[in-house]
Structure 1
Amino acid sequence: MEVDVQHPLFEGGLCLRCKENFSETLYRYDEDGYQSYCTVCCAGLEVVLCDNVNCCRCFCKDCLNILIEDGTFEKLRDTETWNCFMCTPSQCKGNLQLRPDWSVRVQDFFANSSALEFEPHRVYPSIPVAERRPLKVLSLFDGIATGYLVLKHLGFKIERYIASEICDDSIAVGMIKHEGKIEYVNDVRTITRKHLAEWGPFDLLIGGSPCNDLATVNPNRKGLYEGTGRLFFEFYRILNLLRPREEDNRPFFWLFENVVHMNARDKTDICRFLECNPVLIDAIDVSPAHRARYFWGNLPGMKHFFSMSSSRSQGRLQFSLFLNNPLSLQFDKVRTITTKTNCMRQGKTGQLPVIMNGKDDSLWCTEMELIFGFPKHYTDVNNMSRMQRQRVLGRSWSVPVIRHLLAPLKDYYACEERV
């Protein structure tokens, strides 16, 4: 079997078929929060789970018994408490050797796993301070206005922010929290060339189309070309309508986001249409919760988001800082917060992340908001229920991630005077 690429986590290589399987399933999780497949081969029917409550790794019988020695799986399965090879690298034996720079290699692997090469994006020179204008932004699939919130926090002057969104709860959050300063235009499919000419020209296009029919965790997914997967092509259509001509020196930036655990063929097709490879960013490096996402775009510096190795060891925020009662904390970090109620459960036993009055308890809405980077009570509008608030949060972007990505635009656009 010919080696197509080096394994990003452990010493060794992957063939083309295993590479595609690895890229599709490494970030796929079961309802218990653990990886759906073995960390080494991304397959395996029988697995042993790591007992570290902050870890989600599992290792299959074949990998353990073949790469280390026969009987390893049975030995670890019968061990009362076991921390995996990722948590305790000194345990690595035989042919299972963890790479010291695995975190950097993982990001490189996902950035280049489409096996396509593209011309670099056009680089725009910085604009002199006196010539910088306020931003005009078009946000597709806007959600709860994360883009607007981040741009205002960064101090940008915003001339116009037009948002396409069809969820009434999300629109209510954006309208109320931003006092009607966002212009809503509803369904992205109704936006025409004429509309864009009337509203623009835009400086920034952002969006992340629905992931339901792309995510491999959905057994009924329809893929990129059916169902909600087709909405990606609405972003692509509008991107092409907004791109300035070659002779136009006006800077134009764009950002597209979607899930990591998608079919390799769908990812390759998205790369082919957008003419670039994505960067993988997990919000765990700048927040207390996992949220691995692909980002495509031409934002300055986005391919070098930050040093993964240094941020993992130094930059992670303490989960306790985000709790109303820090003494109730049961875990250092939480897993990806989604629209499902059971996403809060952690570890083998399905514990909830905090203790309240001596009992396991879920996160409060205000705690979830802070973990995502939103102000407390950001989604507390229109008497929305707890589940409604979790749903709009579960579909949103991580504020600190978007802040890191959009901050370099300060070299191009006007900002408010500092008080």
Structure 2
Amino acid sequence: MNRRYLMRILSLFDGISVAQVALEKAGITYNEYFASEINKDSITVTKDNYPNTVHIGDVTKIDKSIISNLGKIDLLVGGSPCQGISRSKNGRLNLDDPRSKLFFEYVRIRDWIIKNNNPDVKFLLENVKPNKETLEIMNEHMGCEATEIDSVLVSAQRRKRLYWTNIYFGDLPEDKGIKIKDIVYDNTYKVFQDERIENTKTFTKNYVKWDISGKGYGSQQDRAYYLDGTMCTIPKQQTESKTSIYLGGDKYRRSHPIEIERMQNLPDNYTSIIKSPNKRMGLCGDGWTADVVAHMFKGLKVK
């Protein structure tokens, strides 16, 4: 099978470097991988799995002198912070949010590369789906319309994300029909029972929910997902309490960090250098679903 050999890749908001996992899965080889990331735990995970990664610091401090010294960039990837544009957030500021306006840093660097470094650079940007007005602004700045892909096609979690790219990858990934039961690592992990749950629980399409506090509704921590179903989008915060699994009867359990890694198509123990299970899972939730990105990266191969 023919491949395109990429000399240099630049990843902005690199996180735990799921892009490198996806490149491997897609059979794409590369010489140098430069990463912009400021979270220490994310950098630690990346260095543990890909020790040759060259970290170049804060994206806001990357100027033309830094990019010029990297050499010709063949592929630019990134997933700018989504907190300000997520429709699940009340009172969101959209692209005026100091985190989400980092989208413009990606655009700034992408445009500079096209003009001064490599006019044929391939690019990929991932983010959540914003409101219509914000989406139009993002499409305009990216110069292309976003494609929506739900990770449930290749994973046991429902995770709809938008991808802006000039990589032609054809159809959406094939639906593998993966369920939580297919990625189970340990069904005895942190099993719990609570009589208060049994007194208030109800069954919905995707999960069991309960209302111990008497608020009249259950928050994301007050639910457990069916083994023969799919998980919610893996969250970044309080991941362990928000990804519980229903075992049947009056038994429930927490998801194991390895199961959360599998829901993002990561190798088992990819984040194991981080000792806190909740931090490990949160780092996964802050990343990409590797097989979705690998599907797009396969468009880099020579036909």
Task: State the one-letter code of the partner of 1:200.
Answer: G
Equivalent in the alignment of 1:353: 245
Q: Does 1:214 align with 2:82?
A: no
Query: Does residue 183 of the first structure (1) align with residue 54 of the second (2)?
Result: yes
Check whether the contact 1:320–1:326 (CA below 8 A) recurs between aligned residues. Answer: no
Structure 1 residue 252: deviation in Å? 1.9
The answer on whether the counterparts of 1:141 and 1:163 sit within 8 Å (CA) in structure 2 is: yes
Does the C-alpha gap of structure 1 residues 388 and 327 become closer, same or farther in structure 2, counting only changes over 3 Å?
closer
Counterparts of 1:410 and 1:320, CA distance in 2: 33
**Is the CA contact 2:274–2:280 (under 8 Å) kept in the aligned structure 1?**
no
Equivalent position to 1:374, from 252, 255, 266: 266
> What is the identity, as a one-letter code, of the residue corresponding to 2:124?
L
Contact 1:354–1:363, Cα closer than 8 Å, also in 2: no
2:244 matched to 1:335?
Answer: no
AA matched with 2:18: T
Return the offset for 1:265. 1.2
Q: Secondary structure at the match of 2:76?
A: strand
Question: What's the secondary structure of 2:124's corresponding residue?
Answer: strand
Q: Are residues 1:157 and 2:29 paired?
A: yes
- Tell me the amino acid that sits aligned with residue 89 of structure 2: N
SS in 2 for 1:210: coil
List per-residue Cα deviations over 1:114-135 (Å, max 9, x = no partner): xxxxxxxxxxxxxx969x5443
1:181 aligns to what SS in structure 2?
Answer: coil
**Equivalent of 1:395 in 286, 296, 300:** 286
1:308-323 correspondence to structure 2 within 5 Å: 311-312=174-175, 315-323=176-184
Superposed CA offset, 1:160-209 (max 9, x none): 1000001111000000111x211011200111111111102110000010
Q: 1:305 aligns with which of 172, 176, 182?
A: 172
CA contact (8 A) 1:164 1:187 kept: yes
Deviation at 1:327, TM superposition (A): 9.8
State, as a whole percentage, how many aligned pairs show the same letter: 26
The SS at the match of 1:224 is helix
> Residue 379 of structure 1 contacts residue 389 of structure 1 at CA under 8 Å; is this kept in 2?
yes
Taking structure 1 as reference, are residues 342 and 163 closer, same or farther at Cα in structure 2, changes over 3 Å only?
closer
The aligned counterpart of 2:156 is 288
Name which of structure 1's ranges 266-275 and 358-367 shifts more when overlaid on structure 2.
358-367
What's the secondary structure of 1:293's corresponding residue? strand
Per-residue CA deviations over 1:313-351 (Å, capped at 9, x if unaligned) read: xx32233221024799634211111023378658xxxxx
The aligned amino acid for 2:162 is Y
- For 1:146, which of 10, 18, 29 is the aligned residue? 18
Is residue 259 of structure 1 aligned with residue 122 of structure 2?
no
Structure 2 CA distance for partners of 1:134 and 1:295, relative to 1, 3 Å? closer
Q: The residue matched to 1:143 in structure 2 has which SS? A: coil
What SS does the corresponding residue of 1:243 show, helix, strand or coil? helix
C-alpha distance in structure 1 between counterparts of 2:298 and 2:16, whole Å: 20
Structure-1-length-normalised TM-score: 0.59
Are residues 1:408 and 2:296 paired? no
Cα distance in 1 for residues equivalent to 2:295 and 2:239: 30
Runs of 4+ in 1 over 4 A off after TM superposition: 325-329, 342-346
CA spacing shift, 1:186–1:269, aligned 2, 3 Å: same
Aligned partners of 1:331 and 1:353 also within 8 Å: no
Larger Rg: 1
- Partners of 1:360 and 1:237 in 2: CA distance: 47
Q: Where in structure 2 are the equivalents of 1:71-90 lying within 5 Å? A: none
Cα distance in structure 1, aligned partners of 2:99 and 2:116: 30
Distance 2:274 2:43 in 1: 11
Distance 2:111 2:94 in 1: 22
Residue by residue over 1:377-402, the C-alpha shift from the partner in whole angstroms, topping out at 9 and shown as x without a partner, is 1111143x112112111110001101
1:109 aligned residue: none
Structure-2 change in CA distance of 1:139 and 1:356 (3 Å): farther
Q: What is the root-mean-square deviation in Å for CA atoms of aligned residues?
A: 2.7
Q: How does 1:61-140 map to 2 (within 5 A)?
A: 132-140=4-12
- Structure 2 stretches of 5 or more lacking a match? 190-225
C-alpha distance after superposition, 1:290-313 (max 9, x if no partner): 1100101101125x324xxxx45x
For residues 136 and 129 of structure 1, what CA distance do their matches in structure 2 show?
19
1:24-54, CA deviations, whole angstroms, 9 ceiling, x for partnerless residues?
Answer: xxxxxxxxxxxxxxxxxxxxxxxxxxxxxxx
- Per the TM alignment, residue 157 of structure 1 is displaced from its structure 2 partner at its CA by 2.2
Secondary structure of residue in 1 paired with 2:103: helix
